[in-house]
Structures are given as structure tokens and as C-alpha cells.
Chains A and B, each alone.
Chain A
């Protein structure tokens, strides 16, 4: 499709027509070209499927999928839609199975998605049954490509496309390994329902400009401010981003003089909320990695989490949070991860605003006809920057968006 009319022509990614967030036809095209196109979509963690036969269901955009570990130990992904009449096959979310049986008319599939048997396929007492020409081999479940990095599982619905590593970019892939490349333990999991287009949330996770302005809890307690050292790294293809903060703090209240009133007297009554330990040798104390179109990996102090973004129509999306620890954690370290988890999620002292800010946009743009956003903070480029006062990461989102919606 041609995105010129939506402000996304040429080499600039500094504006976007509001109709991109509201038009059901755009949402349908996104399903075809992004979620079922060559993009790599995050669907879960290897630690959720430790042994042969373990399965869970997930979503690739609007496409329902089953993720399963085969008897050979390989992870496979297939569409969770019966080839007979389209029933959902796996409806209990997760479990361990030797095969999948559709509940409707009992068609049987093996863990590779092959149709192995059809109930009453030979009829009963010579009556009924499928015609002799019916070939089970032509009715297997549609398979998706699977790739993993540091325990994260991605799928791609297109038969061909870039390798996951190239798709992510060197710096992003390295940072994912650096953060999660250890024995992972799931410490918590919940879903946040948001009443906004999925793109508004994806942009938000790359928008280092808003962090200390919308999320005043951090600012108030001097936990993270834009005058701390940090930056925005963009992967080679310009699609995926890493926003990070270094440990050295140099507070500069003057820079915040025109921001909302800063109450510097407020102190935490219980500072153990943010007790932490230096976990990473690179000195990065906080980082948000955003992988187009569906993964956000978070390190906020020692709170580690991955978030899977699932669109639900043009004006709704769901965010599946998985909070993580590692097998090496001491009890004291686990305790710190638990306390710090109060900063994130739908009740997160730092991040709760992200649950509503997308809807603040969504509700006001329903009537927009041709107006466009402005994304020019930090210039118009899509390159890494040594500052977080930039919208370079947001522009990177739109670069990835156009590459998928309007391939060269």
C-alpha cells in the first residue's frame, strides 16, 4: 500500500496520519503485511515449555497459534485453527499432550501439525465416511517458522524473510543475550488490557522523551531522569531500539524548570522498594528494548520482564507481562526483584500511566481527518543518539512499519 498519503513518504519518518490508528482497513492490512508477513513476532519463552509435549497458545496479531515442544525437543508453531471447519483446537491455554484433538468433530493432529486421523473417517458399518480421495496430508495445520534468542521464542508466518539475528540488529541481539541469556525463572505473569491502537503502545516504549515527564514517580524520587547519562540505540536496519540509562547520576533541576512542578522534598517512607544490586557489568541501570512489532524487554533496576503486545482491533490491545528472575538469584536478590516489581505493570508506580496514555490519544483522534503527528525531537533522523531527549526510537518504529506495509 502507498503510505505517502499518510505522511510516511520519502526518507522522513517524522509524521503520521491519525487515521493509521483508527481505520479498520489499515488494521486488516497490518495483519497481512506485518503479523503474517516477514516480521518476527514474540510469542513466549522457552522456559514455559520445558519438556516434550508442552504446549501453550498465543497470538501473532489476530492469528491464533499453538506453540509446542515436539518429542524431538524442537519448538514448533502452527495455526490454532482446525482445517475441517475452523474450530479452535487448543482452548485450555497450556498443558502437555501427545497429540491435539479438535473438540468439534475429533480430527487428530500430531505435534508437528499433521492431520493423522479423522473421527468416523471410514464411516460406521459401511455407511458415511470420507471419500477415498480425501488426502489427510493436504490438511495439516499451517506451520510458522520459529527462532529463539536467549530463551525468547519468535515466530514468522511468512515462508521467507530475514534471519532473526539480522532482523534484530547486532546491538539489540547482544543486549537481549546480556539481559536474559541465563537460566530464567518466571516470577509472575499478568495481562493488561489497553483501549488504544497497538502502535500507540509500541511507539510509547521507544519514546524516551516522555519517560520522565509523564511518569513523575521516577522523577520525584530521582530514580531516572533525562539528565542521567544514557541514550537511544537503533539497530542496523533502523527498526528496533534500545533505550538505556547509565548509573552515573547528575541531577540538574534547572533542566526541569519548565516541566511540571518537581517536588524534591518527597521521600520514600520505605526505600527498600528500590533496593537493588549492580547486576550488569556495562553499568546500565535501566533499559527498554523494543522489537517491532510485538516485544518489549524491560530492565528497570533489577526488575526484568518481557511484554508481548497483541492487537485486538484498531482501538484495543493486550499486553502480556512476564516477570523474570534467574536460577542464580539469591533469596535476597529474588526479594529485591519482587519489591521492584511494584514499579511496573498495570499497578506500576512508574509505568501505570502507559496503560491510559494511549487511550488519551485514541479518544481524541477518532474525529481526525488528515491531521498528522509531529515527531521531530532530536532531529528527523533514525540513528542512535547519546541523548534520550529524542524521538529517534519512535521514528524507527515508523521506518519498520513502512518497510513492512510498503516493501521496496
Chain B
């Protein structure tokens, strides 16, 4: 099993962003452990202790249901993302894994539109080593703003 140094954590973060930007969204749940948690919540809500943000998935099953919705059920205009993710800051390495954070800027590009800054914020992750490589046990996307423009369908 590989060790979880900063380089390994950063590779996981970059592959995650690259997969989403490349529209390989089917692979999105695979970046998590089977019981992985994914939430998108504003920093304001976190400060207030809210339990609900704009998205909360517990486990790969809920993530796959989101992918299915995005591909087969939900109605929205075609668009893609471009992530810019900072180098990670590593926190405590505990028995569970290593905590890591990184800042991101996310542009949303409608088919014929100019790229627009859609979201900014910080990933707050718990990364664990698995036989298949590093995976997110928890990925909390902390949005800088409480507002979301129009709709959020592709995971951040």
C-alpha cells in the first residue's frame, strides 16, 4: 500500500478535477471509498452549524444516482467546468488517514458562452490509502459564497 505523502494526495485531487473537467463523470464516485462522504456547503452555513448544504452524498451509491440523474433525468443546458486547484496543505495524519485542504476556482462554460467564474472555495478532505490507491473518505466542498447561480448539476 502506498504512503499518503503530499504528492500522492495532490495527484488524487488533480485526477479528480481532471476527470470532471473531461466529462468523465461516471468515474467521479470511484475517487471515493464505498462509504465516502461528499458534501457541498457554504462557509457561512458551516459557521452556523447547518447540517444541510446544497448537496450531500453518503456513499458511492448516492453518487452514482447523481450521475444517473445528470445523464438520464435532469434537464439543463450543456456545459462544462474548468477547475484550478491549489497545492494541498496536509494536516494531521491519523489512524483514519490524512486530512488535506486545497483552494479551488471553478469556471463554468456554457456551450457558446464565455468562461465565467462559477464557484470558489476550499476542499476539506480526509484521504485514505486503499489497495487501489488513495481515495477520499470524506470530501467537503466549502463554498465561499452562499449563492449559487442558476443550478448545480455537475459535481464540484
Contacts and interface: CB of A to CB of B under 8 A. Distances in A.
Interface of A: 186-195, 214, 216-217, 220, 263, 266, 268-270, 272-273, 318, 323, 334, 337-339, 341-342, 345-347, 349, 352-353, 355-357, 359
Given A188-B52, A191-B146, A347-B152, A339 B74 contact: no
A361 B7 CA distance: 48
Contacts, number: 120
Contact of B147 (A318, A337, A338, A339): A318
A216 B62 contact: no
B40 A347 contact: yes
Interface string B109-147: 000000000000000000000000000000000000011
A326 to B, nearest CB: 13
Question: Could you say which of A266, A339, A341, A352 has the most chain B C-beta atoms within 10 Å of its C-beta?
Answer: A352
A329 B84 CA distance: 41
A217 B69 contact: yes
B54 A345 contact: yes
Contact of B45 (A190, A192, A220, A347): A190
Contacts of B48: 186, 189
Contacts of A318: 147
Contacts of A338: 51-52, 56
Instruction: Pick the 6 closest A-B CB pairs, nearest first.
Output: A188-B52, A270-B61, A355-B151, A269-B61, A347-B152, A191-B147
Interface of B: 40-42, 44-45, 48, 50-59, 61-62, 64-66, 68-69, 72-77, 146-153
Nearest to B155: A347
- Secondary structure type dominating chain B contacts: mixed
9 contacts: A186-B48, A190-B54, A192-B150, A192-B151, A195-B150, A217-B73, A323-B50, A338-B51, A339-B62
B150 A355 contact: yes
B148 A192 contact: yes
A346 B152 contact: yes
Contacts of B57: 342
Given A190-B148, A217-B74, 20 more contacts: A187-B50, A188-B41, A188-B51, A189-B44, A189-B146, A190-B54, A191-B147, A192-B148, A192-B151, A193-B149, A270-B65, A273-B65, A339-B62, A342-B56, A346-B152, A347-B40, A349-B69, A352-B151, A352-B152, A356-B151
A273 to B, nearest CB: 6
Given A273-B62, A346-B152, A356-B76, A187 B54 contact: no
Given A338-B56, A339-B58, A356-B150, A187 B76 contact: no
A129 to B, nearest CB: 42
Nearest to B143: A190
A347 B58 contact: no
B52 A341 contact: yes
B55 A186 contact: no
Question: Could you say which of B62, B73, B146, B149 has the most chain A C-beta atoms within 10 Å of its C-beta?
Answer: B73
B54 A263 contact: no
B56 A349 contact: no
A250 B53 CA distance: 34
Contacts of A194: 150
B50 A349 contact: no
A186 B41 CA distance: 14
Given A190-B45, A270-B61, A270-B62, A349 B54 contact: no
Given A323-B52, A339-B56, A342-B57, A356 B77 contact: yes
A347 B75 CA distance: 12
A345 B150 CA distance: 10
B153 A347 contact: yes
B150 A263 contact: no
Contacts of B76: 352-353, 356
Nearest to A324: B52
Question: Could you say which of A220, A339, A342, A355 has the most chain B C-beta atoms within 10 Å of its C-beta?
Answer: A342
A337 B66 CA distance: 18
Given A188-B45, A216-B74, A347-B153, A193 B51 contact: no
A375 B57 CA distance: 39
Nearest to B61: A270
A342 B40 CA distance: 11
Given A189-B146, A192-B147, A341-B56, A266 B51 contact: no
Contacts of B146: 189-191
Question: Could you say which of A323, A346, A356 has the most chain B C-beta atoms within 10 Å of its C-beta?
Answer: A346
Question: Could you say which of A214, A272, A347 has the most chain B C-beta atoms within 10 Å of its C-beta?
Answer: A347
Nearest to B52: A188
Given A193-B148, A269-B64, A188 B53 contact: yes
A50 to B, nearest CB: 13
A347 B65 CA distance: 13
